[in-house]
Chains A and B, each alone.
Chain A
Amino acid sequence: MTEINEQKVTGDFSMYFGPAHPGSGNFSIKCEMRGERVLKATADPGYLHRGFEKLMEYREPMQNAVLSDRVCVLEPLQWNLVHAEAVDYLMEYEVPERAKYIRVILAELSRIQSHFIWYAAMSLGTGFMTGFNIAIGYRDYILDVLNLITGGRVYPAGYICPGGVRKDLPEKAENKILELLPKIDYMRKFALKQNPAWLARFKEIGTLTKEEAIKFGAVGPILRGCGVESDVRRDDPYEIYDELEFDVPVMDDGDAYARFTVGMQEIEESMKIITQSIDRLPKGEVKTPNLKPRVQFQKAEGEIYIRNELSRGEGAFYMVATGQKTPYRVKIRGPSFTHMIPIIEHLLTDVAYADVPAIYWSMYQCPADVDR
């Protein structure tokens, strides 16, 4: 006979991590608690849903380029690039060589500033305010250069547009970017210092095995932190990545510290890519000849799935054109979705509540691209 245990444990309760928590972003996790331990966690997304896929069906490609910034606030130039590549394919645009180099330089700068935010968010989540302030300060140097080139500090407003880039690099922009590299390197070394407090908070916390990472569909630094060498820039090169030399950092531990270290090592590779691109930057046009400000799909028909390596992993656009002015269907694949729903629920099982922010931020999430 089945015994029904009706005895209630007074230490059992449920607690929300976010969305009002200062370190959660626009995301929430419902934690089933027993005392200080989290028994089960349920992700609760949807606080930042803006319906981009539907909005893009009502806008022309150049207007969508502006909209694509907003998919993820922290890596707008890279989302610009994925969108532009999808339209380039459907419209059969030949992108000039100089534009391809500028696209790659800006995408890598965007990756670096996004990784700085990762360090800042991990510091903030674990009460290390100094790290947060320094990372945000150094990110500002990059934002200044982005402002110089694109006209906006955070949002480039579709600078990487279908057919190339909207404007050529301003005078001395190459020098400004090269002057930036020592500052980036200083910040990278600072972040990688073997700080005992940092190690205590992140080492052997939130460990994800290689098999689990593949099963749940992890991408980007999260997958590489589990020992899988996977990078779209190398596996399925786009723009000029096949001509550049760079390594793909991998770590086998699979814990929060390994994921973070992979991210910081990627900054060094991004710096290599930027240096090589600036050295080889050709002269010439930056837009497809006769590119009009209004791009319409009236002569385009077909469908395309384009994937790129964003800061957080593999991001992609699926776009269908049926000869109308606007795309018939747009589907966006954000890298954070798999990290934030199945993986975070798996990792937050039987852990201390104090480790929740550390695991949460080590997933390098962006609620904006989970909800889209």
Chain B
Amino acid sequence: MKLGIVIEVVKNVFTKPMTVLFPFEKIEIPERNRGEHEFNIDTCISCGACARICPNLAIEMVEVPSELREKYPKTYPQVDLGKCCFCALCEDTCPKESIKLTTNFYFATFDKDDTILYPVKAE
């Protein structure tokens, strides 16, 4: 029994640690990880399927800022990350693959406005 403990200790000295030195080192995030949304306004057809399927009503179809309204005249999805449960149903339902969930999961913020993902930002 005592020898068993010694073997365990020696083994652990040479074992790779389970943790990494975050934020200097990062664990590789799998491709399917459901993180922040990436939206492509140019391919969006404004069908609103993403807003209808969202279980948390986190997606709202909104108009773009007035200076861009000539180029993008319809309504486009605006995601509230504070409400989002990251289920990726919007990604599944989008007929044009305009909305995708990326591997980025760094959302910590002090400003509530940072949690809103606008379809396009005015320059």
Q: Do A and B come from one complex?
A: yes
Interfacial residues, chain A to chain B (CB-CB below 8 A) = 59-60, 62-63, 66-67, 137, 140, 147-152, 155, 157-158, 166-167, 170, 293-294
Task: Tell me, rounded to whole Å, the shortest Cβ–Cβ distance linking B7 to chain A.
Answer: 13
Q: Is the pair B32, A63 in contact by a Cβ cutoff of 8 Å?
A: no
Given A151-B30, A293-B92, A157:B18 Cβ within 8 A: no
Q: Is the CB of B32 within 8 A of A150?
A: yes
- Selected from B33, B55, B86, the residue in CB contact (under 8 A) with A63 is B55
Residues of chain B contacted by A158 (CB below 8 angstroms): 87, 89
- A153 to chain B: closest residue by CB: B33
What is the predominant secondary structure among interface residues of chain B facing chain A? loop
Question: Which residues of chain B are near A59, meaning CB under 8 Å?
Answer: 55
Q: Determine whether the beta carbon of B32 is less than 8 Å from that of A66.
A: no
Please indicate the chain A residues that have their CB under 8 angstroms from the CB of B89 in the complex. 62-63, 66, 157-158, 293
Considering the chains assembled together, what is the distance between the CA atoms of A239 and B85 in angstroms?
28
B77-107 Cβ-contact flags toward A at 8 Å (1 or 0):
0000000011111001100000001000000
Complex Cα spacing A294 to B51, Å: 12
Q: Are A170 and B93 in contact (CB under 8 A)?
A: no
CB distance from B85 to the nearest CB of A (A): 7
A60 proximity list for chain B (CB < 8 A): 53
In the complex the two chains form, what is the Cα distance from A157 to B34 in whole Å? Answer: 9
Contacts A157-B85, A293-B53 supplied; 14 other A-B pairs, CB < 8 Å: A62-B53, A63-B89, A66-B85, A67-B55, A147-B32, A152-B33, A157-B86, A158-B89, A166-B92, A167-B32, A293-B49, A293-B89, A293-B92, A294-B49
- B69 in the interface (beta carbon within 8 A): no
Q: Report chain A residues within 8 Å CB of B85.
A: 66, 155, 157
A294 adjacent to B32 (CB under 8 Å) = no
B74 within 8 A of A: no
Q: Which residues 30-55 in B have Cβ within 8 Å of A in the complex?
A: 30-34, 49, 52-53, 55
For B49, B85, B93, which residue has the most chain A Cβ atoms within 10 angstroms?
Answer: B85
Closest A-B pairs by Cβ, 7 of them: A293-B93, A151-B32, A157-B87, A63-B55, A66-B87, A148-B30, A151-B34
